[in-house]
Amino acid sequence: MKIVFFGTPQFAVPTLEALVSDSRFEVVAVVTQPDKRRGRGGDLSPSPVKAIALAHCIPVWQPKNVKKDEETLEKLRATEADGFVVVAYGQILSPVLLDMPRWGCVNVHGSLLPKYRGAAPIQWCLYHGESETGITTMMMDAGMDTGAMLLKSTVAIAPLDTAPDVAAKLALIGADLLIETLLKLANQAIQPIPQNAAEATYAPLIKKTDYELDWSKSAIALHNQIRGFFPNCTTPFRGSALKILRTIPLDATLLAQLPPEFAALQQAAASLKTAIAAPGTVAAILKNQGAVIETGCGYLLLKEVQQAGKRAQSGWDFANGVRLEVGETMQARSPHRLS
């Protein structure tokens, strides 16, 4: 089965590796995004998918715009591929491309379609507090993730999972589901199922403003935003931006779902007094845990943070290192205690 693989980030790597390691498939070429400049030196760096392809001596094509690159289009036609497999490629395929392979183009999408169509399904799924997500394989059409569905696989989301945690789980599931999907397509053992557009939700590109924390939101909502957009959410703190990396809402229902090692935190949370301060205020500092921040509804424990120009550190080390005080507000430009 001759396959051309389209993909770019780490999320796509397990699927490419699964295809390469399976003798029933021949990956004749890989199409990925152009190399990008990364790091302080600004050196060009290949995508994770390109690195794997080169390690297996697979031809790699990197058009800036695959729809308009005639040289790449001719190469793709010449492959006479049975199918194109697309996993987080990062460019939209034109109808010309969709019609090239004998069996069409199969996409591995990181959500349970028709929910979370779009560029960032994992991030927005967490942002909205979903308790489960999954992978959907589908036949691609000219719309944005609107093609007929083939197979699905579901995975539970743990209360403290971040987007990279969920992505790592889904990447492995997606690899297995893609192999199963292709084999069933080859044997005509699968019937594509149209999506119900009325049930569709969307996961657009993330904007910089989505990273800004508003402490008037509830502790649960802030926690979901922080883990969904990990590791980029920030709050003003003493005149600079403080990244909030990991948090725990001190909510009895959520705490009860955590492993036994969080029992001490449950006891500490139960001892906190009723909220009286403004959102964004340090309400308490729990020993060996970190700062507890007042929100619009409930308390939020800062488990891991990162100051500008420094490495990530635990919430407890941060509170000690900056000599954080109860009553200080995260939104002040300088240390401030409430009277």
Per-residue pLDDT, 275: 64
Closest C-alpha among 295, 297, 294 to residue 284? 294
Q: Is 131 annotated as a binding residue?
A: no
Instruction: For residue 24, give both structure tokens.
Output: 């029933």
Kindly indicate whether the domain formed by 208-321 is annotated with CATH number 1.10.3720.10: no
**DSSP track, 191-242:** --B---GGG--EEPPPPGGGGB--TTSBHHHHHHHHHHTTT--EEEETTEEE
**DSSP3 helix / strand / coil % (the chain, rounded to 5):** 30, 30, 40
The CATH number of 2-203 is 3.40.50.170
Instruction: For residue 144, give both structure tokens.
Output: 């944005």
Burial of 158 per CB tally in 10 Å (0-12, 13-18, 19+): middle
- Residue 188's H or E segment, with its range, is none
Q: Is 182 annotated as a binding residue?
A: no
- Contacts (Cβ under 8 Å, ≥6 apart) of 255: 248, 262, 265, 266, 269
Per-residue pLDDT, 85: 98
Three-state SS for 102?
coil
Q: Is 153 annotated as a binding residue?
A: no
Instruction: For residue 107, give both structure tokens.
Output: 């996409």
β-bridge partners, 61: 31
The low-confidence residues of the chain, meaning pLDDT below 50, are: 332-339
Per-residue pLDDT, 332: 45
Q: Quick one: angle between helices 48-55 and 13-21, nearest 10?
A: 20
Q: What is the residue extent of each domain of the chain? A: 2-203, 208-321
Q: Is 113 annotated as a binding residue?
A: yes
- Amino acid at residue number 221: A
